[in-house]
Structure 1
Amino acid sequence: MDTNGAIVPGFAPFGEMVTLLGGGDLAPGTVTRLMARAPNLVVCDGAARAALSMGHKPAAVIGDLDSLDADTRAALDPDTIHYIDDQDTTDFDKALVNIDAPLILGAGFMGKRLDHELACYNALVRWDRRCILVGDHDICFHAPKRVTLELPEGTRVSAFPMDELRVNLRGLVWSHEDILLSPLGRVGTSNAAAGPVEIESSGPGLLIILPAEHLDAAIAACLAMP
């Protein structure tokens, strides 16, 4: 996909992790939890309204702005609003393409509309950005090559392929070497940690899904990924 139309010239990089909010389900407790770890706030389009209602003023608002109402827009610093007139990318795509940060923690992208959620998983594997999507029950991130996770024994670990991949699954109850995973064939869901977990993939396209309470372990793993 050509992303030239989705790039904002001069979009400033962030030296610390970023919290990114979307238009899906947004629990105030989840937003507070993410902001405590990633204090820089970027929102997609109409999620600015939810952020302001929770007492958080975004450093940047990005998207095609079709969901940004007039009252919310008036409450924002005009310099923080980044309008992108590109209908070939989603607002989540636009955010991932433009945010330069060590790690993005995203909320409001899981739950609510299934088509939007699936599009977000697609975006995770296409753009070269470290990002963890956080929902009420689960978290999800892309592991393009290798990831190591320190998890309590018995923790649910799922590896879902978005492409055909050869994968090594180590430190799991059902460990495998050089197993073929495919979205049209075998997938690696509903496994469990049996010790330190190491997952290696032959290429990009592998999504890792964990229970939401293990966000800090996922953050450490993503920051350490090659």
Structure 2
Amino acid sequence: MLAALITAEPAPSEHAGPLLAPVLTSLLRKDPARRPDARQAARTLVTGGDDGTLRLWDVASLRSASALTHASPVSAVAFSPDGRLLATGGDDVPVRLWDAASHAPVASLGGMAPGAALAFSPDGRTLAGGGDRVVQLWDVTARRIVATLPHADFVTAVAFSPDGRTLASGGGDRTVRLWDVAGRKAAAVLTGHTEAVYAVAFAPDGRLLASGGSDRTARLWRTG
């Protein structure tokens, strides 16, 4: 499954489609491996917006396949690695889990302020969520919090390393933080951004971490 969050700020009615077609077309042209005929798993894209609507799109037809409703703006979406679960977060807490095939609600995960970032671990057993001065980790099967990791400000980005051993997070405190997932403890604090960090992503081999922020810089960090 392919998950994405469009962070532009169109009027609510525009979430229904006009801006999405060029985004999907560009995505598929740049990465042929993600075309539906090349990898059937990459056939659905999910978007959330200020209109409180969660939309699932058929990548092949560029049409909205279905819509789910939050009571307020949706700010984070993530598919589990096997594509069976969809996690969503927004101003209406808690984080929600949905069956990706039937679109039925599966569970509500409590314990966190409005969610601005979500990521599943590579094995799908853990969900990380960033919110108001914390990153929380949930056991997906047990539906319970297993760790609360502190930040100095709102957390806007989370990402697991490819081996699942390290979690990266970034936010309003202008830092990128690395966490030992098994030990549930801080591993490193990376400084250099001068404004909030809004994106973090590991390289496929886990040796580099990229971060981007509102200071208009993208930084590469050696992590292995």
Same fold (TM over 0.5): no
TM-score (norm 1): 0.29
Higher fraction of strand: 2
**For the pair shown, which has the larger CA radius of gyration, 1 or 2?**
1
Higher fraction of helix: 1
Higher relative CO (CA 8 A, sep ≥ 6), structure 1 or 2? 1
